[in-house]
Amino acid sequence: MNSQKASLFIKQKAEELGFQSCGIAQATFLEEEAPRLENWLLQGRQGEMSYMENHFDKRLDPRKLVDGAKSVVSLTLNYFPENHLEFGKYKVSKYAYGKDYHNVIKKKLKKFLRSIQEEIGEVNGRAFVDSAPVLDKAWAQKSGLGWMGKHSNLITKQVGSFFFICELIIDLELEYDSPYTKDFCGKCTKCIDACPTDAIIAPYQVDGSKCISYYTIELKEAIPQEVQGKFEDWIFGCDICQDVCPWNRFSQPHQEEAFTPNSLFSELNEKDWEEITQDTFDEVFQGSPIRRTKLEGIKRNVQFVQLIDK
């Protein structure tokens, strides 16, 4: 199969599997991103996310992740919910309503890779979902899937930004899409203006260590007092910069059953969150990304927001 037919098959298969979009870029060294990543790390923008400092060379060169890599196939998967959940005053990021996306997407990607191998022949590759040293947004932009917004999330004109990004890095030469070079943020600064902790320190620059998502998920210690009163009742993650983005008026509800919240979760109220026990936590959040904080983390976050309100 020639590269044109192989590329067409890959994009058609991605659509069959429910992915929102698919783009292909040549597997090369990310020259433009290298100094940006280095400066971001040197400035300590990663906070306690020390894993961001690991595998610097692999983050910039997919050929160090897959021997003989020729192509990076970038994909997006919608997670915008049909209904927005609020548990009294408490708020949870939309991506965490259903099952852990790492598991859901990894399963899809493995099926995707098997389909490529069955149709095209011997193809070596690996699937990547957020947890590996891959610069997802950079590859998605290089694959023509969208532009980097001022909040540093990838945006597309058709659907906004409420989607996951993942990749297949394979040793198959394909037809490559043109990078997305336009920027449709214009003079808009809504995401910057709305961020209560000033995590968006400049257009297209985010200090990860100041983000509410960092405080409520990544940070394992006590939340600093200087951000007291700035959480707007978010207890797991934060969607503020995306919620205010004008492009997200085009977001449509996802069709992925695994991202639909179970009834135990969607029916939680303020009191349930405030009095949550280990048994309840285990039952309600089975297979959920919220398990990442463990019970202690959720209780810390809820108590921090309670303290604010007092």
Q: What average pLDDT does this structure show over 124-144?
A: 90
Which residues are part of the catalytic machinery?
130
Distance CA 129, CA 14 (A): 15
pLDDT at 40 (0 to 100): 55
Q: How confident is the model at residue 32 (pLDDT cuts 50, 70, 90)?
A: confident
Distance CA 168, CA 223 (A): 36
pLDDT digits (tens, 9 = 90+) for 114-126: 999 999 999 999 9
What is the rounded average pLDDT for all residues in the chain? 92
pLDDT digits (tens, 9 = 90+) for 80-122: 999 999 899 999 999 999 999 999 999 999 999 999 999 999 9
Neighbouring residues of 218: CB distance < 8 A, sequence distance ≥ 6? 47, 48, 49, 208
Cβ–Cβ < 8 Å for 179, 145: no
Distance CA 164, CA 211 (A): 18
Share of the chain above pLDDT 70, in %: 91
Closest listed residue to residue 128, CA positions, set 142, 117, 139 = 139
Distance CA 310, CA 132 (A): 40
pLDDT digits (tens, 9 = 90+) for 235-247: 999 999 999 999 9
Q: What average pLDDT does this structure show over 259-287?
A: 97
Strands 163-170 and 125-128: antiparallel
Domains and CATH numbers, the chain: 3-82+95-170 (3.40.109), 190-309 (no CATH)
Output the six-digit token pair for 145: 């899937």
pLDDT at 187 (0 to 100): 97
Q: How confident is the model at residue 48 (pLDDT cuts 50, 70, 90)?
A: low
Distance CA 206, CA 242 (A): 14
